[in-house]
Amino acid sequence: MLKKIFLISCCLMAFLGASLAQAAPRITKVAYGVSPDRQLRVVMETTSPARMSSEFLERELRVTVNAKLNPRINKLYVPKNAPYVNKVILEPQGSETIVRVLMKKKLSSSEYKTFNLKRDTVNKRPTRSVIDVVGGPAKKTFTPKKRSTERKPWRPSTAGSGYSVVGGISGKRITLDPGHGGTDPGTHGLVTGVYEKNITLPISMKVKKYLEEKGAIVYMTRTTDVDVYGPDATDVQELQARVDVAEDNKSDMFLSLHINASVNTSVGGYSTYYHPKTKYDIQVAQCIQDELLKTGNLEDLGVRYANFYVNKHSTMPGALVEMLFLTNRREEKLLTNNWFQNKIARAIADGVEDFYNQHRGG
Ligand SMILES: [Zn+2]
């Protein structure tokens, strides 16, 4: 009996050793996005680089990815705004995954592409396998601004001299940027799996409401689950598109709202980041952080200097707020609670009001 068990466990270990050595890639997350020109993008996050091969059937693009699908991933997606795509079906097949894109029309080889993205250590994004499928004529009701790729990513212009900090919050033009969106989900909760992009948005909409009640004029970089530039943007294009919303609306303040993450699940708390490109940024961050700390018994990680793109390349005062940690169980629970979302939103709006109150007299 003992001998037998020993033999079995030896075999098991040999088997485990062999499979570990090969480290077959797994698909851990799948996100979908439809760009303003209605191209569908499927982004599969993988544990290591995966190979893809594709074939056409009559009205179907079939991509075989050599990565095992996490069983918790939803296997059906029906896009709303992609005119030629009916649905996407994910079929696990052993250590591979078949992605079936069912089309309303016949597809040609120039109308889709597949490619891999390397691990992005700066933005903490894993290796990704991407499928793009052609769109159609842009919807008339949605006319995103054409952005030339030749446009310089940063305009150190005099536009910034246009902002105002005096006279109270009433009439101030404030742009809110709900972090991530569309093909970029941001971080995610460990209990519910909720994406950062789906929490930054409702909180930002609540901040908008509270700021408007105080008399401010609020602009949003996004009001739905979309990429602001488009699903095929580089990180700089995407972030600059958010800055552009603030610049184009001649904003007096620009706030980007995010949720933090850590490999250490016991880490939690609020932090607010600034880049001192105006003399007001640090004060904006401090006012917001002070109000956030009143929302409960939560850690104060402080007001911090940072080189975040959106802070650095916008010309008006602003801050980037990391509203607690989605990787902390207690904070994930708070962040997914409507009542607490309101509490955070009110604190941010109060912080902005405080800042302008401090400059009432000029
Ligand atoms: Zn974020």
Give percent of the chain above pLDDT 90. Answer: 61
- Residue 9, SS3? helix
How many angstroms separate the alpha carbon of residue 181 from the centre of ligand 1? 10
Report the pLDDT value the prediction gives residue 58, as an integer from 0 to 100. 79
Report residue 355's pLDDT band, with 50, 70 and 90 as the boundaries.
Answer: very high
CB 261 within 8 A of CB 184: no
What kind of architecture, by CATH, is found in domain 164-357?
A: 3-Layer(aba) Sandwich (3.40)
Average pLDDT over residues 284-304: 96
Domain positions in the chain: 25-133, 164-357
For 80-103, what is each residue's pLDDT tens digit?
877 788 899 999 998 999 999 998
Report the pLDDT value the prediction gives residue 8, as an integer from 0 to 100. 40
- Who surrounds ion ligand 1 at CB < 5 A? 179, 186, 258
How many angstroms separate the alpha carbon of residue 179 from the centre of ligand 1? 5
Residue 5 has pLDDT above 70, yes or no: no
Kindly state the tokens that stand for 68: 């095992």
CA distance 293 to 344: 9
pTM value? 0.60
How many angstroms separate the alpha carbon of residue 287 from the centre of ligand 1? 21
CATH C-level class of 25-133: mainly beta
How many angstroms separate the alpha carbon of residue 311 from the centre of ligand 1? 13
**HSE-CB of 324 using CA atoms within 13 angstroms:** 28
Kindly state the tokens that stand for 286: 């401090």
What are the phi and psi torsion angles at 6 (to 5°)? -60, -45
Average pLDDT over residues 119-124: 74
* Residue whose tokens read 């894993």: 126
Report the pLDDT value the prediction gives residue 136, as an integer from 0 to 100. 59
Report the pLDDT value the prediction gives residue 137, as an integer from 0 to 100. 52
For 219-256, what is each residue's pLDDT tens digit?
999 999 999 998 878 888 899 999 999 999 999 999 99
CA distance 155 to 239: 13
Residue 330 has pLDDT above 60, yes or no: yes
How many angstroms separate the alpha carbon of residue 258 from the centre of ligand 1? 4
How many angstroms separate the alpha carbon of residue 58 from the centre of ligand 1? 41
Q: What is the DSSP string of 133-182?
A: E---SPPTT--PPP--TTS-S----GGGGG----S-STT-EEEEEES-BT
How many angstroms separate the alpha carbon of residue 67 from the centre of ligand 1? 27
Task: Give the other-Cβ count within 10 Å of 74's Cβ.
Answer: 8
- Give the range among 20-29, 217-226, 278-287 with minimum mean pLDDT: 20-29
